[in-house]
Amino acid sequence: MRKLLLETLTGNPGERVPFWFMRQAGRYLPEYREVRASTKSFMEFCYSPEKAAEVTLQPIRRYDMDGAILFADILVVPDGLGQDVWFEAGVGPKLTPVRDNATFSKLGMAGFHDKVAPVYETVARLKKALPEDKTLLGFAGAPWTVLTYMIEGSGSKDHGAARQLGYGNPELFSRMLELLVEATAEYLCRQIEAGADAVQIFDSWAAAIPEPMFDAWIIEPTREIVSRVRARHPDTPIIGFPRLAGAQYERFVAKTGVNAVSLDTGVPLDWAADKLQPSVCVQGNIDPHLVVAGGKPMVEEANRILETLKSGPHIFNLGHGFVPETPPENVKLLSETVQAFRR
């Protein structure tokens, strides 16, 4: 059976535009909150294959998206490398910060796959459970975005400690990047071997990085991951997401070798159709806050996006993830709008 999303990713779009949504599994769904409440620790939840597979499938049952994204978190990778990672209710992720050689030397690949093995098990379960026409998406955080958490020890506004370490101790910083490239490439390959049809690399904090650093911290590590994954799995599409990278999106696409690129909410669509779509599939980019508001403005904007990108490969998605206050009925209306559109 055809997997429309997978075929669109490889540059063969059909008549209908396939869709999935970032954070489609999450707190806006009551059935997610119910399963989530059965496990205290968020990391433990990510490492519970039965529960993680269940919440991955919940939005597909409700809205019939073309893609299901593995439920896990980008911070599984530092956890697998031996850093302490935990989530505090109402605060978010916490990690013991790594800012010097001594703390960094405690991290490594030994034990990585054993620690994250439940994630591979989740992928394997999903492969069996998903209808044949659905595309199973694996994912990882990009090295730069994951490094911001590893260095800061939490989420942060401007990633100041990470930038300062990148400028002030480039030797340590590049060793950290290299370890993340290795771990991330391995992690994605194992997800593909467990059944993922395609993978997305989330670089959520790619905003406002100066050009030379954008090349060194964002493009080069991503290019290296793409090249390592492709060497083992040449037919598996890879989606990049250099969120808020502005004009640097174009260089990102040209140099990393990704098959598709996810557009944040601010990317102008005529520009994307002109500069990006001729070489890659694009994905995006409705404002998640417009889905909170819903109604006619949401439907009109969805149709504008679909129209503007209809002459090349396009996967409908958000510009960033759903926020917890999103009304589930608005997601239904949005899904129906995309399903009804014909190119």
CB 177 within 8 A of CB 223: no
DSSP one-letter code for 88: E
Taking only Cα atoms into account, the Rg of the chain, rounded to an integer number of angstroms, comes to 19
Return the range that interacts with ligand 1CP (CB under 6 A); candidates 71-79, 171-179, 301-309, 311-319. Answer: 71-79
Burial string for 173-184 (b: 16+ CB within 10 Å, else e) reads: beebbebbbbbb
* 3-state helix, strand and coil shares in percent for the chain, rounded to the nearest 5: 50, 15, 35
Coil, strand or helix at 114: helix
Question: Based on CB atoms, which residue is closest to ligand 1CP, 87 or 271?
Answer: 87
Asked if 24 interacts with ligand 1CP (CB under 6 A), we say: yes
Coil, strand or helix at 279: coil
Active site (annotated) includes residue 23: yes
Give the residue carrying structure tokens 């949504």. Answer: 21
Is the peptide bond prior to 12 cis by the omega test (within 30 degrees of 0)?
no
Active site (annotated) includes residue 32: no
Among 82, 97, 321, 328, contact with ligand 1CP (rule: CB under 6 A): 321
Question: Based on CB atoms, which residue is closest to ligand 1CP, 74 or 177?
Answer: 74
Among 9, 74, 180, 263, contact with ligand 1CP (rule: CB under 6 A): 74
Asked if 283 interacts with ligand 1CP (CB under 6 A), we say: no
Asked if 120 interacts with ligand 1CP (CB under 6 A), we say: no
Question: Based on CB atoms, which residue is closest to ligand 1CP, 191 or 312?
Answer: 191
CB 206 within 8 A of CB 218: yes
Give the shortest CB-32-to-ligand 1CP separation in angstroms. 7
Asked if 139 interacts with ligand 1CP (CB under 6 A), we say: yes
Asked if 289 interacts with ligand 1CP (CB under 6 A), we say: no
Asked if 25 interacts with ligand 1CP (CB under 6 A), we say: yes
Give the shortest CB-186-to-ligand 1CP separation in angstroms. 18
Residue 309, CA distances (Å) to 11, 236, 241, 263, 301 in order: 13, 23, 17, 12, 12
Question: Based on CB atoms, which residue is closest to ligand 1CP, 93 or 195?
Answer: 93
Asked if 7 interacts with ligand 1CP (CB under 6 A), we say: no
For residue 5 the two structure tokens come to 């999303």
Asked if 155 interacts with ligand 1CP (CB under 6 A), we say: yes
Element spanning 213, H or E: helix 211-213
Residues with catalytic function = 23, 27, 36, 73, 149
Which residues of this chain interact with ligand 1CP, rule CB under 6 A?
Answer: 22-27, 36, 42, 69, 71, 73-74, 92-93, 139, 141, 155, 202, 204, 321
